[in-house]
């Protein structure tokens, strides 16, 4: 006796969805097909089985006894399939791409990243450097780390603040030892980054200082070049504490005048409405690490000050 071929899986799935909703229209919506496609799949299933599964007028179809019996077995079966697929996806390695400010990645994120990877071996993190505003109408990465200003808008993004923004003047210990007051420090060779040219004026406004003109100003394309220029003794730079904390704490840079908090912050930006357990885990880890980060030094008492 030849084995009987099972009915098409797609027809069984379509019937199971219809049986749950008891509506062709709602079944079509869940399956992202037309009303007619649902009707044809159910008709094909009835023909394959040789059994009537639904009865009544087209606008008020109901299950026959055979249809109800079949649906009772199909629903848990398809639920088990969905659960197995979900579990398999969760157990598989998941790579997420995080767009990040380059200096923040080098000085803050990467030194801490091994802890996240150890806690979440199922997640791979790929970092890409960018300073551009985030716009998820265009961008395709899974998350981004940016300094966010109070009036800044990132379309279609959910923002999570995880670290305060502090800025202050830094230079080599030798240079700063020869600049005992702020008035002398603001007259030293001035370093700045093209990514935030108003760092000096924004800091001076928060400190209530008038910035004098200086004979030497040096500009660098990015903050990591700016930090290295300060470490090399080329002048005094105004930089975020997160960018220089390792260098100050190691004694390569000195910050005797401390850091002042700016009305901006480091935020994690993810696509609005997109659920992803790997991205959730990374966001939550950033928040926890932000809370554990060392506070910036206050004048004359902080590390390296």
Kindly report, residue by residue over 28-44, the tens digit of the pLDDT: 888 888 888 888 998 88
The mean per-residue pLDDT over the stretch 51-61 comes to 85
The burial class, CB within 10 Å (0-12 / 13-18 / 19+), for 267 is buried
d(CA 296, CA 303): 9
Q: What average pLDDT does the segment 150-175 reach?
A: 94
User: What pLDDT digit, counting tens, does each position of 167-226 carry?
Assistant: 999 999 999 999 999 999 999 999 999 999 999 999 999 999 999 999 999 999 999 999
With a cut of 90, say whether residue 289 has pLDDT above it: yes
Q: What is the pTM of this model?
A: 0.67
Beta strands across the sheet bearing 217-220: 123-129, 94-100, 143-148, 260-271, 157-170, 236-240, 190-193, 217-220
Per mean pLDDT, which range of 49-53, 142-146, 260-264 is the poorest? Answer: 49-53
**Contact criterion met (CB below 8 Å) for 105 and 146:** no
Domains (ranges, CATH) in the chain?
9-91 (1.10.10.10), 94-305 (3.40.190.290)
Given this model, what pLDDT does residue 100 score? 97
pLDDT band at residue 137 under the 50/70/90 scheme: confident
């Amino acid at each position: 006796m030849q084995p009987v071929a099972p009915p098409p899986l797609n027809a069984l799935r379509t019937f199971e969805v219809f049986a749950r909703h008891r509506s062709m229209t709602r079944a079509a919506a869940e399956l992202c097909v037309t009303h007619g496609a649902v009707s044809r799949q159910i008709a094909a299933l009835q023909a394959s089985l040789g059994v009537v599964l639904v009865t009544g007028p087209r606008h008020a179809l109901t299950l026959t006894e055979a249809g109800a019996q079949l649906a009772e077995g199909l629903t848990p079966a398809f639920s088990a399939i969905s659960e197995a697929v979900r579990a398999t996806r969760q157990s598989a390695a998941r790579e997420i791409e995080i767009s990040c400010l380059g200096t923040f990645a080098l000085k803050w994120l990467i030194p801490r990243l091994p802890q996240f990877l150890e806690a979440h071996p199922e997640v791979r993190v790929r970092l890409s450097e960018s300073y551009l505003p985030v716009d998820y109408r265009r961008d395709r990465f899974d998350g981004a780390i940016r300094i966010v200003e109070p009036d800044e808008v990132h379309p279609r993004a959910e923002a999570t603040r995880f670290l305060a923004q502090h800025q202050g003047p830094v230079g080599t210990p030798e240079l700063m030892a020869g600049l005992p007051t702020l008035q002398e420090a603001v007259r030293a060779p001035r370093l700045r980054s093209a990514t935030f040219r108003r760092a000096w004026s924004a800091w001076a406004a928060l400190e209530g200082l008038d910035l004098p003109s200086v004979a030497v100003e040096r500009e660098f394309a990015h903050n990591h070049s700016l930090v290295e220029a300060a470490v090399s003794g080329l002048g005094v730079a105004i930089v975020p504490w997160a960018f220089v904390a390792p260098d100050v704490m190691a004694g390569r840079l000195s910050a005797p005048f401390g850091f002042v908090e700016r009305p901006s912050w480091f935020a994690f930006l993810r696509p609005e409405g997109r659920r992803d357990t790997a991205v959730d885990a990374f966001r939550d880890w950033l928040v926890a690490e932000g809370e554990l980060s060392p506070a910036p030094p206050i004048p004359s008492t902080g590390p390296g000050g």
